[in-house]
Amino acid sequence: MTEHAATTTPSAGLAAKVLTVSDGVVAGTRDDRSGVVLVERLREAGFEVVEHRVVADGRQSVGEAIVELASDFHGLIISTGGTGFGPRDLTPEGTKVVLDREAPGLAEAMRAVNPLGRLSRGLAGTRGTALIINTPGSPGGALESLEAVLDVIPHAVRLLGGD
């Protein structure tokens, strides 16, 4: 058990999906380190990671992927990548158009964990019974962002299911 796992509320029975947004990973020129880190951490926290998908950067590719991932799904969808200021960093824009409701407190908490977090434009919100959060594309930034909200995710997901 890692140091992180010992301090996290058990998430037994909760499902998660990871979406890596990266032109480089799609092209095979970069390794998906941040997606792998998120999958590992979610499993340590007791989530069942039922899918890990990679899509190219862009508003449409992200929006379409989130719609597909959220269809008939009750759990967490966490994306990594595309939240910065680069010309292809359009994950928040693709996310925003498919959210039913935004959850600004989660996004604010993720940005507050590190001074560089102020450069993240990531969003959080819901679509159906899925909780969606955007994290940065660096492994450290993705993990820090997840850790900032991991303690409340199980409760949020259960509320989405009507508990």
Give the pLDDT of residue 52. Answer: 98
Confidence of residue 127 (pLDDT cuts 50, 70, 90): very high
Q: What is the mean pLDDT of residues 63-88?
A: 97
Average confidence score pLDDT of the chain: 93
Q: What is the mean pLDDT of residues 116-142?
A: 96
Give the pLDDT of residue 5. Answer: 39
Q: What is the mean pLDDT of residues 122-151?
A: 98
- pLDDT tens digits for 6-54? 334 456 689 999 999 999 999 999 999 999 999 999 999 999 999 999 9
Domains of the chain plus CATH, in order, are 10-160 (3.40.980.10)
Q: What is the mean pLDDT of residues 137-155?
A: 97
Three-state helix/strand/coil letters over the chain: CCHHHHCCCCCCCCEEEEEEECHHHHHCCCCCHHHHHHHHHHHHCCCEEEEEEEECCCHHHHHHHHHHHHCCCCEEEEEECCCCCCCCCCHHHHHHCCCCEECHHHHHHHHCCCHHHHHCCCCEEEECCEEEEEECCCHHHHHHHHHHHCCCHHHHHHHHCCC
Give the pLDDT of residue 11. Answer: 62
